Amino acid sequence: FLKTVESINLSNGTDLSSMFDGCYGLTNITLEGSVNANISFDGCPELSYDSIKSILTACAATTNSNEKTVSFNRTIADQNNELTNLVATCTSKGWTVSGLTITTA
């Protein structure tokens, strides 16, 4: 099973919606640059806090204003409102963030 992706730049990707399908064991991923297209982590229910933060940071760095969706299948406790603030930034840049339930620590 794929568990870790050390560093990946998806800035030039145009359809990332099924890139991580079936990656149930993926816990750690670090995205570099920005994400500018729909992307799904529905099949990755074990993503770490830092991985979700990295994904949302890359989405927040989007270089286009098109409507896009990033989807998860995860409930996770926030730390100092970091994830909540990143979701708000993503939303303001055209993202719909679905399937991510953020709780207070």
pLDDT in tens, 82-99: 999 999 999 999 999 999
State how far the Cα of 45 lies from the Cα of 39, in Å rounded to an integer.
Answer: 15
What mean pLDDT do residues 12-23 have?
Answer: 92
Residue 67 has pLDDT above 90, yes or no: yes
- Mapped onto helix, strand or coil, the DSSP state of residue 60 is helix
Residue 68 has pLDDT above 80, yes or no: yes
Report how far residue 60's alpha carbon sits from residue 63's, in angstroms, rounded to the nearest whole number.
9
Non-local CB neighbours of 85 within 8 Å, separated by 6+ positions: none
The pLDDT assigned to 26 comes to: 97
Neighbours of 77 (CB within 10 A): 10
Percent of the chain having pLDDT more than 90? 94
So what's the pLDDT on residue 1?
A: 82
Q: Which residues pair with 88 in a beta bridge?
A: none
Q: How far apart are CA 103 and CA 105, in angstroms?
A: 6
